[in-house]
Structure 1
Amino acid sequence: MIRKLLIEKINHEISEYTTRGQTDYQSEKVKRKIESCEKRHAEIVKVEATGKVNEVSMQPDETQAVLYDVHYKYLVKQGSYIYMEEEVENRRAVYYGGQIYNDGEIPAVFEGVKRKEETLDEENGERITYHYERLKAVQYAEKWWNTYNPAYRKFENDCTNYISQCLHAGNAPMRGYPSKGKGWWMRSNSWSYSWTVANSMRIHLPSSTIGLRAREVEGPHKLKLGDVICYDFEGDGRFDHTTIVTGRDADAMPLVNAHTFNSRMRYWRYEDSTAYTPNIKYKFLTIVDDR
């Protein structure tokens, strides 16, 4: 019964995406996504979704809490260009008396308060040369966007860990072990802050002078495949999220892959995200190598 009700709800939401001329949306998510598309003269022409119930638990008030995932596939048309965007939404609903209540996306959990150790020390040691293989980084991002490589530890807030894996797959060398506040590395059950914490990666990439490093550019149009975008959703100076560029839309603007908000080929601005605020700030970082 619960599964049937959830399927009905998802199907109703899907119908809102492709109902032409509609202005009154029951789903805030649908409204945000359609408005984001309209700003860049794009249109969602088809939506598919599959659901998976992960857990049903009885609550003290005799309701049942339902944790489930919805995997959306959006066919987006922008002029003559057509591409597929995907995302997985983690949701929670309450079931009682044959009805679904309080159904909504579970907010992502960001890193906690800033730690003193996140201020990275000055560089020292020999220069670590490498050639960044952008295609390999993108291929890794595509392979693991909605699953987790067992060779690495999985985190509740996994966005920066996933981006680090992508960069390493592109031949970026680890360095700095065993100091958590130096370099960029993961080994066994330990890792640097810059490997797993969005704000630390944002600090490390443009300040590093050896090994993995990046240069900040003026806007998203300057990014290449395999480059990185950092997100400060609240605009408070602490960056919360990291994505990797895996494609471009018809206007040559970045489409990105990410974890935590598991998604692929998502438009870079994140205006359709529940984490988005009008105060959002971005950092656009292009990876620099030793060619």
Structure 2
Amino acid sequence: MHTFNHKYNLLKIATIILLFTFYLNNYSPKVYGYMLEPNVNQENQQTPKKEEIKPQEEKLDPKEEIKAEIERIYNERNKALVNGDASILKSDFDTSQRQGLWSMEHEVKRIQYFNQWASERNMEFKNIESTVRIKKLNAGSKSAKAFLEETYKFDYVYKGDEAATLNSFGVGIRHTITLKNNGEKWIVYNDWYTDCFEDALQGYTGFIQENQTSMTTDTIEEYIDKSAWKWKHSYNREKAVEYADKYCGAAWGSTNDFKYNKKYRDYNGIGGDCTNFASQVLGDKEAGGLKQDGTWRCPQKLYGHSEGTSAWVNADGLKNYLVYSGKASVIRKGTFKELTAATPNLPSGAISKIQLGDLICYEKKGQIDHFAIVTGFDSKGYPLVNSHTTDRYHVPWDLGWGDKHIKFLLLHVNG
């Protein structure tokens, strides 16, 4: 009995071994081979080549797309300013409607004026470049409207200058621009801004015309209270210029991130900020440090945005205050030609008496319309100015003031 059972068990074991061997021979090699050595050439197992895998294109943020298009348009304008060719602007404006046509015509006038102005001063502009900071944007697929600041940088040399000294100045302009998508690109529907050339465009050849009528120059005695000469004032010209450079706003050259001094109210949009800025340069402790008084002052508020008196913020008010208080004296008043005309004592004209930290007043139709601070001289000694409203940094003093009705008043700050 035991022998039979033993034989039966051996037979059973042998059968199991045979079945296991059969399984290994017929199935396991395929599994083993697939797991460790996959056949990359099997049908339906194709691997795409690396170059066939295209990364998904990143879409620009709408604000960045509009910003790039505006900068493209503005730099096309700059090329036209440099080379005098207005024809390159035609494709950037929607001239099928009046506002687009007016916007383009305005740019053409700027090109004509700017090139004639530069030619008369023997200047050759090498490059003009714009960058844009969008403050507010409403954009769709067909149109976009933006409020923005444009920062210009102008580079020029003097013709015939063997040293080819490069001079640079900056301008900052605030725009409200509407764009239209014509299916191919963005174009200008309208563009409203306070232009640094505005007062020269109606008669853009104004003061450089050969047949211009001479204007009468007022004498110093008509403006000065001579009793004021005994006054002594302390005026720091170096700090005044440093302040004017720091807070010149949206212009290239600003050292305060294109911002005004927050201590003072910004009068842009409500009459302009040029006189307020001139008063700051004269009277802020960080700047020229002239002593403020009951007539000319700007008391500081705890949280900033202080408002000055009429003499502080009004152009005629500041001119009258400075002259009659004795804080400033008139060098001369007249047209561009009169101020640059050679005399026996002043071969370069009255403008050559201007100093750093002095003021230039711009008069239209008998009233002071603008103030600027003298902040430097270029490679040929041409006076340069800073100002607000249309923000300027080291800009040639008469650029943009070509209308025949413009007079200039040169003020020397005493102290």
- TM-score, normalised with respect to structure 1: 0.78
2:324 to 178, 203, 207: 207
Residue 145 of structure 2 corresponds to 65
Q: Percent identity?
A: 25
Question: Alpha carbons of 1:105 and 1:256: their partners in 2 closer, same or farther (altered >3 Å)?
Answer: farther
Residue 288 of structure 2 corresponds to 170
Deviation string for 1:140-189 (max 9, x for gaps)? 1111112211222222221111111111211211111xxxxx3x110034
1:12-23 correspondence runs (5 A): 12-19=76-83, 22=85
Measured in 1, the distance between the counterparts of 2:357 and 2:377 equals 12
Measured in 2, the distance between the counterparts of 1:217 and 1:152 equals 30
Deviation string for 1:236-273 (max 9, x for gaps)? 111111000011134423110011011111111132x6
Residue 265 of structure 2 corresponds to 153
Residue 54 of structure 1 corresponds to 135
Residue 103 of structure 2 corresponds to none
Amino acid at match of 1:263: R
Displacement of 1:204 in angstroms is 1.4
1:103-182 correspondence runs (5 A): 103-107=190-194, 129-146=232-249, 147-156=259-268, 157-168=272-283, 169-176=287-294, 182=295
Residue 391 of structure 2 corresponds to 262
1:42 to 98, 103, 123: 123
Measured in 2, the distance between the counterparts of 1:175 and 1:12 equals 49
Displacement of 1:64 in angstroms is 4.1
Question: Alpha carbons of 1:24 and 1:282: their partners in 2 closer, same or farther (altered >3 Å)?
Answer: farther
Is 1:2 equivalent to 2:66 in the alignment?
yes
Residue 119 of structure 1 corresponds to none
Measured in 1, the distance between the counterparts of 2:234 and 2:88 equals 48
2:375 to 246, 266, 274: 246
Question: Alpha carbons of 1:241 and 1:204: their partners in 2 closer, same or farther (altered >3 Å)?
Answer: same
Displacement of 1:92 in angstroms is 2.1
SS at match of 1:240: strand
Whether contact under 8 Å (1:25, 1:31) holds in the other structure is: no
Consecutive unaligned residues of structure 1, counting only runs of 5 or more, are 109-121, 177-181
Question: Alpha carbons of 1:278 and 1:215: their partners in 2 closer, same or farther (altered >3 Å)?
Answer: same
Displacement of 1:25 in angstroms is 7.5
Is 1:85 equivalent to 2:169 in the alignment?
yes
Q: Which has the higher contact order (CA 8 A, sep 6+)?
A: 1
Measured in 2, the distance between the counterparts of 1:73 and 1:96 equals 27
Whether contact under 8 Å (1:90, 1:106) holds in the other structure is: yes
Displacement of 1:107 in angstroms is 3.0
User: Which has the higher mean CA deviation after the structures are superposed, 69-78 or 147-156?
Assistant: 147-156
1:268-287 correspondence runs (5 A): 268-271=397-400, 277-287=403-413
CA RMSD of aligned residues (A): 2.8
Residue 185 of structure 1 corresponds to 297
- TM-score, normalised with respect to structure 2: 0.56
SS at match of 1:131: coil
SS at match of 1:76: strand
Amino acid at match of 2:233: Y
Amino acid at match of 1:160: T
User: Which has the higher mean CA deviation after the structures are superposed, 49-58 or 6-15?
Assistant: 49-58
Consecutive unaligned residues of structure 2, counting only runs of 5 or more, are 1-64, 90-106, 196-224, 250-258, 301-305, 333-349
Whether contact under 8 Å (1:93, 1:100) holds in the other structure is: no
Please list every run of at least 4 consecutive aligned residues from structure 1 whose deviation after the TM superposition is greater than 6 angstroms.
none
Greater share of helix? 2
Greater share of strand? 1
Residue 118 of structure 1 corresponds to none
Measured in 1, the distance between the counterparts of 2:145 and 2:85 equals 32
Measured in 2, the distance between the counterparts of 1:47 and 1:85 equals 10
